Amino acid sequence: MNKTGPQLLELSPGEGFSIQEKYVAADTLYSKIKEDVKKRALALDEAISQCTQFHDKIDPTLESLQRIVERLRQPPSISAEVEKIKEQISENKNVSMDLEKLQPVYETLKQRGEEMIARSEGADKDVSAKAVQDKLDQMVLIWQDIQTLTEEREAKLLDVMELAEKFWCDHMALVATIKDTQDFIRELEGPGVDPSVVKQQQEAAEAAKEEIDGLQEELETVVSLGSELRAACGEPDKPIVNKNFSEGFVLNYCWPFG
């Protein structure tokens, strides 16, 4: 048209304006169509690239998330020892850090998937879009499960750690006090013959008895804490708590004024 238009213009000067108008319009239309085709090709290339990236990354990401959530659904039993509980809290935080590392991939996949669905006729009409939507829903659900499970695990670990700290502190203090009192009683001299000496021995024994009786409330508190800790910790750690219960009970029964 660009070649024949000017030639026709020379052959028919009288119709020059009409001819020029037509070939200019045709040239403009051609340029517009060419540009539209180019843009469409670029858009298709971009769509293909995004689609490929989505499908290449979605399954490995889902597998990684699935492994994490499976570990959280079957976590190691909670320890009864404070230091070990701190280690478990640290391990739980590591899971949150692993999730943070996956955050950029998660957000990108979510965005790409939504863009792919938006370019389709919709997940309710397009089978491919429905498949993408299903993958996205699965990824989001697992992601939310991981967040919930890590938060619940941390809260439980912190509760048990607080309980363990209280139990072991009170237990050690009580046992130490009882042993000191036992040592004091053992060191008491045998019954004397002098009335004044006997009276002093009786007063010392009564004082020791009152001190021991005053520890009964503390003992009950430790027993209560121990019962709670035994219920909260895992099976492997229950014998540890039971052993210290036994020690406490033995001491209780061995008190000379029980």
Per DSSP, the residues of the chain read: -TTHHHHHHHH-GGGHHHHHHHHHHHHHHHHHHHHHHHHHHHHHHHHHHHHHHHHHHHHHHHHHHHHHHHHHHSPPPPPSSHHHHHHHHHHHHHHHHHHHHHHHHHHHHHHHHHHHHHHSS-TTT-HHHHHHHHHHHHHHHHHHHHHHHHHHHHHHHHHHHHHHHHHHHHHHHHHHHHHHHHHHHHTSPPP-SSHHHHHHHHHHHHHHHHHHHHTHHHHHHHHHHHHHHHHHS-GGGHHHHHHHHHHHHHHHHH-TT-
Residue 120 structural domain: 11-254
97: in domain: yes
Most confident of 116-125, 182-191, 224-233: 224-233
105: in domain: yes
What total of structural domains would you count in the chain?
A: 1
Percent of the chain residues past pLDDT 70, beyond the cut: 69
Q: What is the pLDDT of residues 207-226, one digit of tens each?
A: 767 777 777 788 888 888 98
Q: What is the pTM of this model?
A: 0.70
156: in domain: yes
CATH number for the domain including 105?
1.20.58.60
Q: Is the pLDDT of residue 9 over 60?
A: no
What is the reported pLDDT for 241?
87
What is the reported pLDDT for 256?
45
4: in domain: no
What is the reported pLDDT for 41?
56
Percent of the chain residues past pLDDT 90, beyond the cut: 33
**Res. 242 pLDDT band, cuts 50 70 90:** confident
* Mean pLDDT of the residues in the chain: 79
5: in domain: no
What is the reported pLDDT for 49?
60
Q: What is the pLDDT of residues 48-73, one digit of tens each?
A: 666 677 788 889 999 999 999 999 99
Instruction: Please indicate whether residue 19 or residue 125 has the higher confidence score (pLDDT).
Output: 125
What is the reported pLDDT for 91?
94
Most confident of 66-70, 113-117, 176-180: 66-70
246: in domain: yes
**Res. 250 pLDDT band, cuts 50 70 90:** very low
144: in domain: yes
What average pLDDT does the segment 178-184 reach? 76
Instruction: Please indicate whether residue 250 or residue 169 has the higher confidence score (pLDDT).
Output: 169
3: in domain: no
